[in-house]
Structure 1
Amino acid sequence: MTRTVRDAIERIGRDCPRLAEHLSSSVATGTWCTYSPSAPVTWRTGER
């Protein structure tokens, strides 16, 4: 699982380096996979 997540983050980084940096520091893998950002995140998509 760890390799798959890290590979996906690397692919994201090719198009969106800032998002990849955020995910690299916020996603942990191991026995459990977690998303724990250091600060609250408000997600916005291209759709409004």
Structure 2
Amino acid sequence: MNVLLRNVGQNRLMDAVISNRVEGGFVRRRGGALQRTGLVRAQSAR
């Protein structure tokens, strides 16, 4: 059970890293405005 939970945690961590890389490249290509709106959305969602 612990091994399974650990694997799921690692997969989620890798997904976060990969999606962050994809988002970072997207923001860099499209410009800083999207990054700002993304940050505003993330803060208002909390």
TM-score by length of 2: 0.38
- TM, length-normalised to structure 1: 0.37
Q: Kindly name which structure, 1 or 2, has the bigger radius of gyration based on alpha carbons.
A: 2
As a proportion of its length, which structure holds more strand? 1
Comparing both chains, which one has the higher relative contact order based on Cα–Cα distances under 8 Å and sequence gaps of 6 or more? 1
